[in-house]
Chains A and B, each alone.
Chain A
Amino acid sequence: MAEEIYQLSATEISSRLAAGKLTSRAVVEALIARYHQLNKKIGAFTSLDEKDVLAQADASDARRKTGKVLSPLDGIPVAIKENIAVKGQPLTCSSKMLANLVSPYDAHVVEALKSAGAIIYGRLNMDEFAMGSSTENSAIQKTFNPWDLARIPGGSSGGSAASLASGLVPLALGSDTGGSIRQPASHCGIVGMKPTYGLVSRFGLVAFASSLDQIGPMARTVADCELLLKVLATPDARDMTCFDSTQRSQLPVATEKSLRIGIPKGVLGKGVGAEVAAATQAAIDFYKSKGATIIEVDLPSSELAVPTYYVVATAEASSNLARYDGVRYGHRSSNAKTPIEMMTNSRSEGFGPEVKRRILLGTFVLSAGYADAYYVRALRARSKIRAEHLAALEKVDMILSPTVPTPAFKVGEKVSDPLQLYLEDIFTIPANLAGLPALSVPCGKSGHLPVGFHLVGAPLSESKLFAAAQLFESAHSFANQQPTL
């Protein structure tokens, strides 16, 4: 068993805190030491307010002494992606546009974590405005894969995944618009879930593509991931798409009855690396050996998922990012005489290349004469993809595939080829388009690099997905892994 504090799972820390064998201060001090030792090398955290996190730890220890523990997460550090608002802390979205922005309020999920007594622990690097699959688009710094420092950690929640894999923190929040939690989770050998659209409030999450964005939990074990989601998933009237308590009362619970797992036709074929295919096949064989029924499912519109996603996501992004005009907050160009010059120059100076590329693409697909050909057709394709998934999920409990076709690539390898980078998300995108819950679970290695498999379930079937993932994790040794650093 792991013995250093930085190697412990959140569940283990929680039970040691409860048993009086550990204090929150000891946990935070150990993690701060680890941060000083490794963060420059990994680049996961963009900032960490040491005084503040120690004060939070002391407050938690004081609560525990007087028997006022708030939840199993009380005293446990949770690191937060740079696009989720924490009052009084930077909210840069890893962009020059918001380089000096200090958030005046807390996101709903941060309020929920604070109410649970969790320690809001540092800010995590990401692709600028969550646009990217490698964290190379950050305007602040690069983040490297802890399993191989010459490779990308995935993205856009690359800082979150890398911080967990290198033992810098036991729990982290990410956000997922097309795979931004699950793809880095797969590349870094950790567990990451994108919840059902509407399960977690988006209040305080900086908007990228509002109909696709969800905040989700990331951790080194399935149990930790589930523990964190329970705290995040509460009603919030400030997000009109967030489920109310009546809708939540219908949440199905996992049952003991045997699993039916769908495998999309030809999913381990073209474009999937041999070792990724082998690790995924081994996961399928495992479930079969445990009595699961394996059923081939047909999702013919999956080939439309990537173009559909990039039309919908960039269209929404071009509209959402119109708010960055240099007026109310964010960068304002010092080189402008008129309001139009101020807007144009502020945006041109503040946004990085990938953000500009997506704004231009989104502007095009919404522009007069082209909206019917692109945006409207993409919405129709989205309907079809959702209908096909829901129909398949009536026959099976969940759909299994690789999370990403190939393991983490080298830093710089795909920078000049946006289309190749967009194809990283081919297996993760459909869950966002259809609003379905999905998670990535570590299932082996390709050489020295982690590989994950991907489960997608029916709306609100999170507990079923966690139970299936737990079954796999318990029978293997891929949980809570960290490379030697």
Chain B
Amino acid sequence: MAKGLDIDHLAKLARLNLTADEKVLYSNQLTQVLTYFETLAKADLPAVSDVAMVVSEKALRSDEPGMSLGSDAVTKIAPASHDGQISVPRVVDDES
């Protein structure tokens, strides 16, 4: 089952840069772990799962207004901000 492990594709999906050494290391370690996971493939398991969560979820709580952090507290911990807003590198190019 470990076949198909494409470390470049995974790194791209996970938004991680890996060095050549890291690619070899993680490929080997993940293959070893996935080989160990093969007991799951062979096991006799129920056709459906009844647990994504182990307690029943109260899907919605009552919609009551309350205090939130406020923009000062939020921008204070942001890596970069301007005029009470979080700033990031340019997302949309100029029209040309």
What is the number of residues of chain B that contact chain A, defined by CB distance less than 8 Å?
A: 54
List residues of chain B with CB within 8 A of the CB of A370: 4
A310 with B13: CB separation less than 8 A: no
List the interface of chain A (C-beta within 8 A of B).
101-102, 104-105, 197-198, 211, 237, 240-241, 243-244, 301, 303-304, 306-308, 310-311, 318, 322, 325-332, 336-345, 347-348, 351, 356-357, 359-361, 363-364, 367, 369-370, 373-374, 376-384, 386, 418-419, 422, 433-435
Query: How many Å from the CB of A387 to the closest CB on chain B?
Result: 8
Contact of A373 among B1, B69, B88 (CB under 8 A): B1
B96 at the interface (CB under 8 A from A): no
List residues of chain B with CB within 8 A of the CB of A377: 40-41, 43, 45
List residues of chain B with CB within 8 A of the CB of A418: 29, 32-33
Q: Top 5 A-B pairs ranked by shortest CB distance?
A: A435-B54, A332-B79, A379-B49, A380-B45, A348-B17
Which single residue of chain B is at the shortest CB-CB distance from A196?
B55
Could you pull out 22 A-B pairs where Cβ atoms are within 8 angstroms? Answer: A104-B73, A198-B54, A198-B55, A240-B58, A301-B43, A329-B78, A336-B89, A340-B15, A348-B17, A356-B16, A356-B18, A360-B7, A360-B11, A364-B10, A364-B34, A370-B4, A374-B40, A380-B46, A380-B49, A383-B51, A384-B45, A433-B54
A419 with B88: CB separation less than 8 A: no
B16 with A419: CB separation less than 8 A: no
List residues of chain A with CB within 8 A of the CB of B45: 377, 380-381, 384
B14 with A360: CB separation less than 8 A: yes
Query: How many Å from the CB of B70 to the closest CB on chain A?
Result: 9
Contact of B40 among A304, A347, A419, A422 (CB under 8 A): A304
Contact of B13 among A198, A341, A363, A434 (CB under 8 A): A363
List residues of chain A with CB within 8 A of the CB of B32: 418-419
Are A344 and B69 CB-contacts (below 8 A) given A304-B40, A360-B30, A418-B33? no
Query: How many Å from the CB of A205 to the closest CB on chain B?
Result: 16
Residue interface mask B27-44, A partner, CB < 8 A = 1? 001101110110111010
Which single residue of chain A is at the shortest CB-CB distance from B44?
A384
Chain B facing A: main interface SS: loop
Query: How many Å from the CB of A300 to the closest CB on chain B?
Result: 10
Chain A facing B: main interface SS: helix
List residues of chain B with CB within 8 A of the CB of A343: 15
Given contacts A337-B89, A381-B45, 6 further A-B contacts (CB under 8 A): A240-B59, A304-B40, A341-B89, A347-B14, A380-B48, A418-B29
C-alpha spacing A210/B96, complex, angstroms = 46
Which single residue of chain A is at the shortest CB-CB distance from B76?
A104
B14 with A363: CB separation less than 8 A: yes
B5 at the interface (CB under 8 A from A): yes
Query: How many Å from the CB of B17 to the closest CB on chain A?
Result: 4
List residues of chain A with CB within 8 A of the CB of B69: 104-105
C-alpha spacing A361/B15, complex, angstroms = 13
A211 with B53: CB separation less than 8 A: yes
Which single residue of chain B is at the shortest CB-CB distance from A91?
B77
C-alpha spacing A360/B18, complex, angstroms = 11
B79 with A330: CB separation less than 8 A: yes
Are A369 and B54 CB-contacts (below 8 A) given A326-B79, A328-B74? no
List residues of chain B with CB within 8 A of the CB of A325: 15
List residues of chain B with CB within 8 A of the CB of A380: 45-49
A383 with B80: CB separation less than 8 A: no
Contact of A434 among B39, B54, B59, B61 (CB under 8 A): B54
B83 at the interface (CB under 8 A from A): no
B37 with A374: CB separation less than 8 A: yes
B33 with A101: CB separation less than 8 A: no
A344 with B49: CB separation less than 8 A: no
List residues of chain A with CB within 8 A of the CB of B94: none
A240 with B57: CB separation less than 8 A: yes
List residues of chain A with CB within 8 A of the CB of B53: 211, 241
List residues of chain A with CB within 8 A of the CB of B89: 336-339, 341-342
Contact of A360 among B10, B41, B49 (CB under 8 A): B10
List residues of chain A with CB within 8 A of the CB of B11: 360
Contact of B51 among A237, A361, A386 (CB under 8 A): A386
C-alpha spacing A341/B16, complex, angstroms = 10
List residues of chain A with CB within 8 A of the CB of B4: 369-370
B49 with A237: CB separation less than 8 A: no
List residues of chain A with CB within 8 A of the CB of B26: 356-357, 360
A304 with B16: CB separation less than 8 A: no
A359 with B16: CB separation less than 8 A: yes
B61 with A240: CB separation less than 8 A: yes
C-alpha spacing A483/B28, complex, angstroms = 40
Query: How many Å from the CB of B74 to the closest CB on chain A?
Result: 7
A381 with B57: CB separation less than 8 A: no
B61 with A237: CB separation less than 8 A: yes
C-alpha spacing A102/B50, complex, angstroms = 39
C-alpha spacing A382/B45, complex, angstroms = 9
Query: How many Å from the CB of B30 to the closest CB on chain A?
Result: 6
A329 with B17: CB separation less than 8 A: no
